Structure 1
Amino acid sequence: MRSAAEHLAQVLALVREPEFEAVPLGVALGRVLGDDVRAAGAIPPFDNSAMDGYAVRVADVSVASEAAPIGLEVVGESAAGHPYADTLGPGTAVRIMTGAPVPAGADAVIPQELVAATATSVLVDAPAAPGAHIRRRGEDAAPGSVVVPAGVELRPRHLAAAASCGVAQVLVTRRPRVAFLVTGDELVAPGGTLGPGQIFESNAMYLAAALASLGAEPVDLGTVGDRGEDVLAAVSGASADLVVTTGGASVGDHDPVKEGLAPAGVSFLTVAIQPGKPQGLGRVGGVPVVCLPGNPVAVAACVEVFVAPAVRAMLGLPEPAWEPTRAVEGWRCPPGREQVMPVVFVEGGVRPATSGGSGSHLVARLAVADGLARVRADADAVAAGDIVAVRRFTV
């Protein structure tokens, strides 16, 4: 039996390295940046005012006081996009708006609420400190400095920063195409009518949403019954960077995934994890294939532990950490297998999301879980107060 860590290493060895493409900045939200965004010039590109007020020469108002205010002639205006073109001379001031360029010769801005002004003059009753209320050129970013580093998953704030550099397009990692195939004669699409021995199909819905939330491009290969040749036909025709199948990967008499894909190059084995023990891994026609059990909780656990890291590897994203967290309730563990337990975060730590343990059939209770706890294979129980590795769901 292969350990979960060994199996993950084998999964990661199958998938490709990140690939890159240039996309317009306007459609880059959620993409992973493949190269640093650098400031082509200084940001801001010129000294500008932090306040509405008056641009002055410090020397002109150095002795101003309430008892002896100094009057300055207002010789013009500097507004955003419309700078004052001349050099400020002695005894003069320029009306200035927030964000507008500071005129040459001025070395301070006095806020408008601190002066008495008319259309042609301003009365100043206190000295101004050099540089007061002036945002300096390059204060935000110097030319050539990194504004958004490679590897960032682009959020609105990153796009705004890139736009401030004048960037129109960015290099991002290509979204991996991840195809998924659901198998089983017992499956009925949601909204249908259940016959004897049938259940509603949920894995396709989960996989489509999970893969999209991971940043992959989901490709639905549909649902096939318990015929190995149908499984092989669906997987062989997939145009994808990775194929994920669910169901039919165990050692029963009706395991179509194993029947169809084992002769094509997929190895079927047991992994020391619960839920998710029977799995398959290999290539079909050069495309990596990961075969998961069919029970929905096992699918969700194995996506978090095996499939999500593969997608993140193809996107160039790091793996989120599992954090040590206290268990506030105890539970039993399967001997010899690492347990992946759905948990709920509560005051003081975590507890199991269901009284039924980590059973792979408990899909309705999966909705109340916040994340997963991982318990090492040599533990047969978790006691209240024990520390376990926990991570909130990443999909």
Structure 2
Amino acid sequence: MTQRLPPSLTPLDTALAALLRGIDPVAAVELPLIEAVGCIAAGMPLLSAYPPRDIAAVDGWALRANDLVGASSYSPLPLSEPPVWVDAGEAMPAGCDCVLDAGAVEMAGPLAQVLAEGVPGQGVSRASSDIAERSSAAAAGCLIGAAALMLARVAGSERLSVRRPRLRIVNAPGATATMQMIAGIARAAGLDASAHEACARDATSIAEALDVSACDLLLTIGGSGVGREDAAVTALAQCGAEFTHGLALQPGRTAAAGRLGRVPVVALPGAPAPALAVWLALVLPLIDKISARQPRRRVTQPLARKIASSVGIAEIALLAEEHKTWMPLAVGEWPLHAIARADAWLLIPASHEGFAAGEPVDAYLMRE
């Protein structure tokens, strides 16, 4: 049986609202630092101050700046007692507030004289200057990157609290390039993505791979159209999924979205362009909710030229940044070279006819 598109397409807003209804963020888990990178921060532990006390930032002589007033190579200042040498990272001796380079002090047996002045804090890392007491390695809802791990390691933390939604991708044979693209994007967005290939492109084979027992989100790739071998939507129906098929979105008309049990499911087209469009317009907002991500950043710039859009269907425009403007690359139909060049994307609502040249628009960045 071949699944056909419904007589009328479901508005994007309607499909998205249904997909998000009743969805809560996944539970946070604590992971070792090495496993937390790339996950979404959740209720991060408060870090200890670093350095915990004043330490030497450079190798040199630890001294008190007020004792060095007037010292120079022309007027060496004798010291009443030898200074203390410190290596970078060592605690500053009591009463010392600066570190002078090795050549700034001359030693002649037990006698020492200073050849330069110092200022308080010179060559010193103050207590809490790198990490403030009870600060966080990363803001909740943000991806944990190398900088956050560095802060956690320096502060002595061993584990971080994160959210990492589990994504299962089922690929209908023939859409491998699209599947690999979506899997890569998903992992970059903080998901634990696993990809699975159906044994064949028939409904039974695809249905056998639709296991939602260990995932928070299910995607199928390919087989969502009306061709004789497009069986993904039929497989979802056989498994008891409740969904709408056919979106008022261009590209991406043949996508489907709904639930398989309690798990959200989205059937992406097999071609890269419509699959990416549905990912941006439908899947990303869902990921934002289940991972409690912070709102994605939008950049406002004027359009370099106008964008025309058809009323009645939402369209996505790909944009490139040129001289502090957004240059439209493609609208509705996307050649692959436009995807490769795009810096941002713009959702044009179904009720909108487009935008005039020079009009400021809010675009989402392709890479955050």
TM (norm. structure 1) is: 0.77
Alpha-carbon distance in structure 2 between the residues aligned to 1:369 and 1:149: 28
Corresponding residue number in structure 1 for 2:4: none
Shift of 1:116: 2.8
Q: Which of 11, 30, 41 lines up with 2:19 in the alignment?
A: 11
- Please state how far the C-alpha of 1:214 moved relative to its aligned partner: 1.9
Q: State the shift of 1:122 in Å.
A: 1.9
Aligned equivalent of 2:158: 168
Contact kept in structure 1, 2:319 and 2:327, CA below 8 Å = yes
- Per the alignment, residue 171 of structure 2 pairs with 182
Conserved 8 A contact 2:131-2:155: no
Per the alignment, residue 44 of structure 1 pairs with 51
Which of the residues 108, 112, 124 maps onto 1:122?
Answer: 112
Superimposed CA distance per residue, residues 101-154 of structure 1 (whole angstroms, 9 cap, x where no aligned partner): 222243444333333334533212566555554433334345434454433322
SS at match of 1:202: helix
User: Among residues 115, 130, 133, which one is paired with 1:140 in the alignment?
Assistant: 130
Greater CA radius of gyration, 1 or 2?
1
- 2:191 maps to which residue? 216
- Structure 1: which amino acid aligns with 2:171? V
The answer to whether the Cα contact below 8 Å between 1:29 and 1:155 also exists between their aligned partners in 2 is yes
Shift, 1:324, TM fit: 3.1
Residue pair 1:32, 1:152 contacting (<8 A) in 2 also:
yes
Corresponding residue of 1:87: none
**CA displacement 1:17-70 (0-9 Å, x = unmatched):** 132222222333222222333233x42123222343322355655575767633
Match of 2:77 in 1: 70
Instruction: Tell me which residue corresponds to 2:365.
Output: 392
Matches within 5 A, 1:127-276: 128-129=118-119, 132-173=122-163, 175-183=164-172, 188=174, 201-223=176-198, 227-236=202-211, 239-249=214-224, 255-262=230-237, 264-276=240-252
CA distance in 1, matches of 2:134, 2:100: 32
Residue 87 of structure 2 is aligned to residue 97 of structure 1:
yes
SS of residue paired to 2:341 = coil
Q: Residue 36 and residue 126 in structure 1: after superposition, are their counterparts in 2 closer, same or farther (change >3 A)?
A: same
Aligned CA distance change for structure 1 residues 296 and 105 (closer, same or farther; 3 Å): closer
With over 3 angstroms needed to count, the CA separation of the structure-2 counterparts of 1:213 and 1:43, relative to structure 1, is closer
Q: Distance in 2 between matches of 1:248 and 1:126?
A: 77
- In structure 2, the CA distance between the partners of 1:363 and 1:54, relative to structure 1 (3 Å rule), is closer
Instruction: Select the residue among 329, 332, 341 that pairs with 1:358.
Output: 332
Gaps of 5+ in 1: 73-89, 189-199
Partner residue in 1 for 2:41:
33
Residues 55 and 257 of structure 1, relative CA distance in 2, 3 Å threshold: closer
Cα gap change, 1:247 to 1:14, in 2 (>3 Å): farther
The equivalent residue for 2:347 is 374
Matched-pair contact (CA < 8 Å) for 2:142–2:294: no
Match of 2:258 among 279, 282, 285: 282
For residues 144-185 of structure 1, give each alpha carbon's deviation from its aligned partner in whole angstroms, at most 9, with x where no partner exists. 344544333222221111111111222222x222122234xx
SS at match of 1:35: coil
Q: State the number of aligned residues.
A: 359
TM-score (norm: length of structure 2): 0.82
Q: Secondary structure at the match of 1:311?
A: helix
Larger mean Cα displacement after TM superposition, 57-66 or 305-314: 57-66
Shift of 1:303: 0.6
- Alpha carbons of 1:297 and 1:100: their partners in 2 closer, same or farther (altered >3 Å)? same
1:272-322 Cα offsets, whole Å, 9 max, x none, are 321223432332243321123344311111111211232233333223133
The 3 A distance-change label for structure 1 pair 65 and 205 is: closer
Greater Cα shift, 367-376 or 62-71:
62-71
Aligned to 1:323: 299
CA RMSD of aligned residues (A): 3.3
Structure 2, unmatched stretches of 5+, are 1-8
Alignment match, 2:6: none
Hey, what's the Cα distance between the residues in 2 that align with 1:152 and 1:348? Answer: 26
Alignment check: 8 A CA contact 1:15 1:241 kept: no
Q: Name the CA distance, whole Å, in 1 between partners of 2:339 and 2:10.
A: 26
2: CA distance between counterparts of 1:132 and 1:105?
14
* 8 Å CA contact retained: 2:39, 2:191: no
Please say if 1:301 is aligned against 2:277: yes
Seq. identity, %: 24
Residue type matched to 2:181 in 1? Y
The one-letter code matched in structure 2 to 1:50 is A
